[in-house]
Copies of this chain bind each other. A is one copy, B any other.
Amino acid sequence: MIVDSALYRGGVRVPVDCTKEDLAELRDRAGGAGDFVWVGMHEPAEHELNHVAEIFSLHPLAVEDALKAHQRPKLERYAEGLFLVVKTLWYVDEDDAVETGEINLFVGRNYVVSVRHGKGTELHSARLDLEKQTAVLGHGPSAVVYAICDRVVDEYESVATALEEDVDEVEASVFSPIRTQDSQRIYILKRELAEVRRAVLPLREPMKRFATGSVPFVTQEAAPFFRDVTDHVIRVTEAIETLDTLLSTAFDAHLAQISVQQNEDMRKISAWVAIAAVGTLVAGVYGMNFSNMPELRWHYGYFYALGLMLVSSVVLYRFFKKSGWL
């Protein structure tokens, strides 16, 4: 689906009398220096994308990649233009899960085609924001690329923050005095982190290349801005690595916790067994059949025996309490 398409001249959207699907018209009008067309698509059908590809002479391999949409983040240089793939990430609160989408950008001298898959990092609002900043938009396609990358990476940071909170929760759970079973939770978090890493890590390379200002179709003046994006990508990467290491340690601590609890259970059980054993022993003694057992003939002998059981149990109980077994 074509979400929007427009011709920009000097950072300003040029009102046109054709529909947003009439791209050939737009392209033809974008003849002046600094003119460019920005076509925004969302999960386009094959024929739609092929139509756009034809109009802007996009490279067939790139078009195929943009259709399939399960690419690694990458930057490809073709003679005709650039092809940039970035993954989008968003955090679904209900499931404590990270989901991934994808944005494909075709960038040429006088056009940008953005193809978005999945729900993450909505781009139409990015367009509206940009249209308010004439000075920025005046830099042409580079401004669009920067705006999109910046927005995507900002979402990486909020995903990283959400995951940090999840790790904090796991941590609290692991070290809480309550018995918890955190191994599945830790496993799932590690899987999420692996997914995020696969989305974020490969983006460093393209951003660094933009930051050196040596990529055609992206103006040298945008370099400091992409340096900033690079920096954010690295920060997210480092945050993710740290979380992963912490989770591993938390998992080990969880294992230690389980061992310690097992040990405590065993001592508690043993203490109670000992208390019961003493009662049984006393009962056994007075169940012996010796003809001469003075206590047996005492009038309150029975109650004395019950008392003996009780007293020894209480003494043992106190002893175990004191030595930490109960």
Chain A residues packing against B (C-beta within 8 Å): 59, 61, 65, 71-72, 74, 76, 78, 171, 175, 181, 183-184, 186-187, 190-191, 194, 198, 224-225, 227-228, 231, 234-235, 238, 242, 245-246, 249-263, 265-267, 269-270, 272-274, 276-281, 283-302, 305-306, 309
Complex CA gap A279/B286 in Å reads 12
Determine if A290 and B286 form an interchain contact, defined as CB atoms under 8 angstroms apart. yes
Cβ–Cβ < 8 Å partners of A259 in chain B: 255, 258-259, 262
Contact with A288, one of B175, B190, B255, B302 (Cβ below 8 angstroms): B302
Contact with A183, one of B59, B74, B252 (Cβ below 8 angstroms): B252
Determine if A286 and B286 form an interchain contact, defined as CB atoms under 8 angstroms apart. no
State the copy count for this chain. 5
Determine if B305 and A296 form an interchain contact, defined as CB atoms under 8 angstroms apart. no
Determine if B194 and A242 form an interchain contact, defined as CB atoms under 8 angstroms apart. yes
Q: Assuming the A-B contacts A183-B253, A194-B245, A256-B255, are A290 and B281 also in contact, with contact meaning beta carbons closer than 8 angstroms in the complex? A: no
Q: Assuming the A-B contacts A187-B253, A274-B272, are A224 and B301 also in contact, with contact meaning beta carbons closer than 8 angstroms in the complex? A: no
Determine if B260 and A260 form an interchain contact, defined as CB atoms under 8 angstroms apart. no
Complex CA gap A301/B228 in Å reads 88
Complex CA gap A238/B250 in Å reads 24
Cβ–Cβ < 8 Å partners of A295 in chain B: 290
Complex CA gap A274/B191 in Å reads 43
> Closest chain B residue to A64 by CB distance?
B228
Query: What are the 9 tightest A-B residue pairs by CB atom distance, in nearest-first order?
Result: A283-B284, A286-B288, A290-B302, A269-B270, A183-B253, A183-B256, A287-B287, A276-B277, A290-B301
Complex CA gap A301/B294 in Å reads 11
Determine if B260 and A263 form an interchain contact, defined as CB atoms under 8 angstroms apart. no
Determine if A242 and B290 form an interchain contact, defined as CB atoms under 8 angstroms apart. no
Complex CA gap A198/B246 in Å reads 13
Contact with A231, one of B71, B183, B291 (Cβ below 8 angstroms): B71
Determine if A234 and B72 form an interchain contact, defined as CB atoms under 8 angstroms apart. yes
Cβ–Cβ < 8 Å partners of A175 in chain B: 183-184, 187
Contact with A290, one of B256, B272, B305 (Cβ below 8 angstroms): B305
Determine if B225 and A61 form an interchain contact, defined as CB atoms under 8 angstroms apart. yes
Complex CA gap A154/B76 in Å reads 20
Determine if A258 and B261 form an interchain contact, defined as CB atoms under 8 angstroms apart. no
Determine if B301 and A296 form an interchain contact, defined as CB atoms under 8 angstroms apart. no
> Closest chain B residue to A277 by CB distance?
B276
Determine if B293 and A224 form an interchain contact, defined as CB atoms under 8 angstroms apart. no
Q: Assuming the A-B contacts A72-B234, A183-B252, A238-B198, are A293 and B284 also in contact, with contact meaning beta carbons closer than 8 angstroms in the complex? A: no
Query: Shortest distance in angstroms between A3's beta carbon and chain B's nearest beta carbon?
Result: 27
Cβ–Cβ < 8 Å partners of A301 in chain B: 290-292
Contact with A302, one of B59, B265, B292 (Cβ below 8 angstroms): B292
Complex CA gap A302/B286 in Å reads 10
